[in-house]
Amino acid sequence: MQMQEFITLIVLVAIFYFMYAYNKSQKAKRAEAERIRKTIICPNVNCGYTGAAKKTARGSTAVGLILCLFFLLPGIIYFVMRGGYRYSCPRCGYQIRADN
């Protein structure tokens, strides 16, 4: 009986460990995919930068906050409308793409 409990415990620990390891590897894969997605080759011929793009939020957070403070609804609309990020070259500032 005790042996059986011990085996059950081992199996449970093994399952949890595999779940943990699997989750970790999935996270690493996602991080890698994100890194590749952010990697750019600058189309500016005078620059030719290759590497991570500079990610900036579209619109201004300050403007959105001020709108929220004074007129709640336009502030929320502003935040929804401006959503998304802009990717640009960190060397020359050339805008690569924007996504939502």
Contact 78, 59 (CB under 8 A): yes
Q: Is 69 exposed, middle or buried (0-12, 13-18, 19+ CB in 10 A)?
A: exposed
DSSP state, 51? Answer: E
Q: Which of 13, 63, 81, 92 binds Zn ion (CB under 5 A)?
A: 92
Closest to Zn ion by CB, 82 vs 86, is: 86
Site pattern 38..67 for Zn ion (x: CB under 5 A) = ----x-x--x-x------------------
Minimum CB separation of residue 86 from Zn ion in Å reads 14
User: Are 87 and 51 spatial neighbours (Cβ–Cβ below 8 Å)?
Assistant: no
Would you say 9 or 52 has its CB closer to Zn ion? 52
Q: Which is nearer to Zn ion, 40 or 64 (CB)?
A: 40
